[in-house]
Structure 1
């Protein structure tokens, strides 16, 4: 079990005790021992099974939709994608008490004495794993509302580090008044954490100017186009920025009290020579800097995200209605524009995006839309459960809503008005998690499971297992990745031919010792299966 200290070595226990002694006593505490153990937390190995019938497009697949408990999926991704995800966005259950949060196959209601503790335990396990998946320049965005925002902030501070908190953004989810409460509820939050804030600050993108922001560029220049004037002062006192400036009319200017000029004198003189200093229409005013609209690449994102810029809940509902012709079970879906804003800030054209509370598939929709706009090759991994319960055992939101929406956006669909909407193109492999008992793994794991995992570990697009092939093959740059399910004369000859051609091979096999003995000078090319997968999978995250 993930919290079983019997599994720790002496060195691990000592390290844990020393860390605990150094930890401050202030922080978030919840009743972990009192609540029912989460059934998803176990020692089972997790494999993935690919369903070609529910996949979109033809193999090899670049994108993944995983059906199953997201704790299982995250444990699997830790084996295959540790340190590979640039951007994570999640929209977890808000724990409103109104049948939005399922713990051990049962809804948690408002009267549950351990409602908040169950939610925190649920989120803690998943966020610990999510942190391991982030690349060094990675960032995570989490949507939340007032029900758990304060608990979530403390939880994320403990997992990602308080110093790694980038911002808490406010999303205006409503455009019309809400009068049911004492004070109308009009917003939600986005908590943003990065593994390395300095790298994120350097890497993050600016956002495009809005129409309102571009409208202030009212002046026209015959060559450079629209421009505006901005102040040439800065707060503070710097001796080399306190010089005197003489306007074209001869009026002398010095910085106002408590401020200095925003540049040293030589920089000012250069701007003046370039015609970039504005003294007002009469040439007598305080100097200001001319900024051309054509030079503005964007603006630094800020924490207020109004509905005019990123959409609102009603817009999101209409998007889903347009695709399906009716509303789905999701009461508060996110608009595509909101997720687009996140991706515009946090991703580059070749990045990998993960959403392990995928809901209606909005994240994949936004990825495809942004790729179509800027020619990018962003990829996505979505994880969604079926959300089946004992009362609704056949319910499958991953298959019927999430994957179906993404398929329609990729391939095209007819909207509610009867209009044909062109597809944005793209593919995905539809996968299901499968738990395999650790003590029978050597007998229960299938060749298809192994080949799928090896491809993902090595960053391959996902190809199907070819049953009648001698061995499974994928080329990774100058390296050929091979899985050898059995050893016979034909396999030995095929490997011998590849080595003779000076091919660089990475061979996974059940009996690597036999291959090492046969190809003595290529010993480092052979790795043991399933031991490599077991070692990478581990036993779950430790508390």
Structure 2
């Protein structure tokens, strides 16, 4: 817990209602707009977004201020300095309000990614555990730069950052499709293609004594000693005590189903006495796994010292039990059938690797069983943004490859997933969404929130307008940049976005000050995740329900013209509809339609508006 009681809260601001207004001059493309760039404080924007997006957002990515003390973080309109005694508490309070609102926006299969560095990583993880209880997925670690940059007096180069990941219960990463080329059916098995799997697992006989037993091939009568450093993967029926249940089949059933792959040559040896076995172990000619029998006295001492379980001694057969047996030298394996794979995708690794790594280096890491993100350094983001803006006015943007990798794994191309970033900065997340859609013909949409970052020293500063919007426009339409003596042209990715501004309205004057176009915007976002401009010339606004199953009608003023328009609508279609009106009682009285639902404005919006219990 942080010093919340000592921090001045924005209570009055929390009571204000928030609306959005459309700036068509800064918007790009044609309506209806499905992507949104919102200029304003993200605390305001998140409360507004509660009205339309609660429980609907598939993926949130944010790159919040890291609280370095270098004027990167504003709290209650003032920069927080390094020597501020409440510096960390103010940052936590700032993040807490916003994360609490963001949590409710996530869909049942939604996920949130948060970039952070070492300064606040530990604090943020604890805070997110509190805000998102039971939702921690993991932490990605990525290398943000190459080369060295020793830090202060410690001669330490801090080259990494983190991405914390929390998700609702139905979320899963997409992974990548496993390479099934190793699966085949050389023996014509009726069960289909199979691959040879390791019959041992990464536990030693002290850790899994029940899985330490000799394996017998009934067809050849050959026995195989268990590796004490890597016991068998499957349990034996002989050691399932007290009705113990296991998740996999016992080894006896695996043998019966002919799923154990015995060594082809089945080379074996037979010893006629214990002395002969001991001599073979000493000269190295005995099967390797028998060597442990020469150190039994050491094992007994470990049991006496509590370093190994006592029952292990009863599980190890005496050496004379191996006299007269056919003892195999090979290593049995087992059949893994392709049809029994739980998933045909490889899981995602928390290692984020530099895309500059050589192929030989990647192969040396042996990451064949996982999906790894291979992304650029921060310099990649800086280079791309400077090409678009022809300047370096925005410091340290994240590489687009990082955000593309995360969003690409969290969303798909067909489901119309909504991606949100309420610390949008230069707009990398929106750019990444457009790039993904261009690559896979996807229909993802984005909602970005970016502030002006104006302050007393730079009152005219507007990052949202001059950097975020400019970048997104370039991404949509294409851009040119100069490299040495050559001008390069980059084609547009297509798409569109609406540029909108967040405005506060005091609750007590809401009914007077809220505009009809602002109401119509939020109703469209609620029902269709898109907006078209308000039509002043029509008495009622209508959103056709081809995608949503019913029509949405907004009645700004219930005059005779509006009543006539409603009557015409009801006379020409029986399609169900929701009517939003300032006078719902009159609408119900005038039109007793069974397929009509009526909601009161602005009360309905107020009920859905986001608030934080400060």
The answer to whether 1:33 aligns with 2:5 is yes
Cα contact 1:44–1:438 (8 A) shared by 2: yes
Residues 242 and 413 (structure 1), Cα distance of their counterparts in 2 relative to 1, 3 Å cut: farther
Shift of residue 252, structure 1, vs aligned partner: 4.7
Give the 5 Å matches for 1:457-472: 457-472=526-541
Alignment partner for residue 112 of structure 1, among 68, 72, 84?
84
Alignment partner for residue 171 of structure 1, among 142, 152, 170?
142
Range moving further from structure 2, 490-499 or 110-119: 490-499
Shift of residue 459, structure 1, vs aligned partner: 2.6
Shift of residue 521, structure 1, vs aligned partner: 4.2
Residues 42 and 240 (structure 1), Cα distance of their counterparts in 2 relative to 1, 3 Å cut: closer
Structure 1 length normalisation: TM-score?
Answer: 0.83
Rounded Cα–Cα distance in structure 2 between residues aligned with 1:172 and 1:40: 42
Structure 2 length normalisation: TM-score?
Answer: 0.74
Shift of residue 478, structure 1, vs aligned partner: 2.8
The answer to whether 1:323 aligns with 2:294 is no
Rounded Cα–Cα distance in structure 1 between residues aligned with 2:19 and 2:86: 32
Rounded Cα–Cα distance in structure 2 between residues aligned with 1:208 and 1:334: 27
Residues 73 and 204 (structure 1), Cα distance of their counterparts in 2 relative to 1, 3 Å cut: same
Shift of residue 297, structure 1, vs aligned partner: 4.8
- Larger Rg, first or second structure (1 or 2): 2
Shift of residue 76, structure 1, vs aligned partner: 0.1
Shift of residue 409, structure 1, vs aligned partner: 1.0
Give the 5 Å matches for 1:301-340: 301-308=348-355, 309-330=374-395, 332-340=396-404
Taking only aligned residues, the RMSD between alpha carbons, in angstroms, comes to 3.3
Unaligned runs of 5+ in 1: 1-27
Alignment partner for residue 456 of structure 2, among 372, 386, 390?
390
Residues 288 and 326 (structure 1), Cα distance of their counterparts in 2 relative to 1, 3 Å cut: farther
Give the 5 Å matches for 1:40-51: 41-51=13-23
- Partner deviation per Cα, 1:79-129 (whole Å, 9 max, x = no partner): 111111111111000000111111233221111122112111111111110
The answer to whether 1:343 aligns with 2:407 is yes
Range moving further from structure 2, 423-432 or 346-355: 346-355
SS at match of 1:354: strand
Matched with 2:557 is 486
Alignment partner for residue 372 of structure 1, among 423, 432, 438?
438
- Partner deviation per Cα, 1:420-466 (whole Å, 9 max, x = no partner): 11111111111000111111111100010000011111134211111
Residues 510 and 154 (structure 1), Cα distance of their counterparts in 2 relative to 1, 3 Å cut: same
- Partner deviation per Cα, 1:124-170 (whole Å, 9 max, x = no partner): 11111011111122111111111111111111111111x22111221
Give the 5 Å matches for 1:102-181: 102-161=74-133, 163-181=134-152
Cα contact 1:206–1:297 (8 A) shared by 2: no
The answer to whether 1:187 aligns with 2:160 is yes
Matched with 1:94 is 66
Matched with 2:597 is 525
Unaligned runs of 5+ in 2: 187-193, 235-247, 268-328, 356-373
Residues 502 and 272 (structure 1), Cα distance of their counterparts in 2 relative to 1, 3 Å cut: same
Rounded Cα–Cα distance in structure 2 between residues aligned with 1:47 and 1:381: 15
Residues 485 and 186 (structure 1), Cα distance of their counterparts in 2 relative to 1, 3 Å cut: same
How many residue pairs end up in the alignment? 498
Residues 40 and 194 (structure 1), Cα distance of their counterparts in 2 relative to 1, 3 Å cut: farther
Residues 359 and 249 (structure 1), Cα distance of their counterparts in 2 relative to 1, 3 Å cut: farther
Range moving further from structure 2, 66-75 or 526-535: 526-535
Matched with 1:18 is none
